[in-house]
């Protein structure tokens, strides 16, 4: 009887290739995730800087700091601001969320920053007061570089 020999890959060879591809994908995934995280930290720093500019303009026009971030969008009701512009102090008509989909925190007392107000994101872990918080009283671009 004639034996049939076919050319092809064995199951073991296919599994070995799949394991190698999975290992390469996992390694690349870790590097990509670190870059995404670094980009999110930089985006939060940039958004806080944008808020800082709007708050400074608000303070120049009104003579006091906003009591909440929404005062940048609509004239405050607690105190009168004579020079408040119709369009508010931000181009967008809503306060953006941070890159981790959390709310930015604002404290009009400014006990931590020395600027008259404190502004921060709770960062990747979403918990206030941890090392990954992005604030207006500390430069946090170092955090993005540490994660490489």
Over residues 17-46, the pLDDT tens digits come to: 999 999 888 887 778 888 999 999 999 999
The DSSP string of 49-71 is HHHHHHHHHHHHHHSS--SSGGG
Please state which of the ranges 19-28, 48-57, 96-105 shows the lowest mean pLDDT.
Answer: 19-28
Q: What is the Cα–Cα distance from 66 to 27, expressed in whole angstroms?
A: 46
Place of tokens 């996992």: 26
Take residue 58 and report the two structure tokens written for it: 């608000």
Q: Which residue has the higher pLDDT, 49 or 115?
A: 49
Long-range contacts of 91-96 (CB under 8 A, 24+ apart): 95/69, 95/70, 96/47
Q: Are the C-beta atoms of 121 and 105 separated by less than 8 Å?
A: yes
Give the DSSP letter of residue 81.
Answer: -
pLDDT of residue 31: 83
pTM value? 0.74
Alpha helices in 86-146 (DSSP H): 141-146
Q: How confident is the model at residue 132 (pLDDT cuts 50, 70, 90)?
A: very high
- Does residue 141 have a pLDDT over 60? no
- Does residue 148 have a pLDDT over 60? no
Q: Are the C-beta atoms of 73 and 96 separated by less than 8 Å?
A: no
Candidates 132, 110, 101, 105; CA nearest to 38 is: 132
Element (H, E) at 8: none
């Amino acid at each position: 009887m004639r034996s049939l020999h076919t050319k092809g890959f064995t199951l073991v060879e296919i599994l070995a290739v799949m394991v190698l591809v999975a290992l390469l994908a996992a390694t690349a995934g870790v590097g990509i995730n670190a870059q995404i995280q670094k980009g999110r930290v930089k985006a939060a720093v940039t958004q806080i800087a944008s808020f800082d500019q709007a708050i400074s303009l608000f303070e120049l026009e009104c003579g006091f700091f906003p009591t909440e971030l929404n005062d940048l969008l609509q004239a405050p009701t607690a105190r009168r601001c004579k020079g408040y512009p119709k369009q508010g102090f931000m181009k967008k008509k809503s306060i953006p969320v941070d890159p981790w989909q959390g709310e930015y925190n604002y404290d009009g007392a400014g006990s931590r920053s020395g600027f008259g107000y404190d502004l921060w994101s709770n960062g990747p872990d979403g918990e206030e007061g941890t090392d990954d918080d992005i604030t207006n009283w500390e430069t946090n671009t170092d955090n993005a570089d540490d994660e490489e």
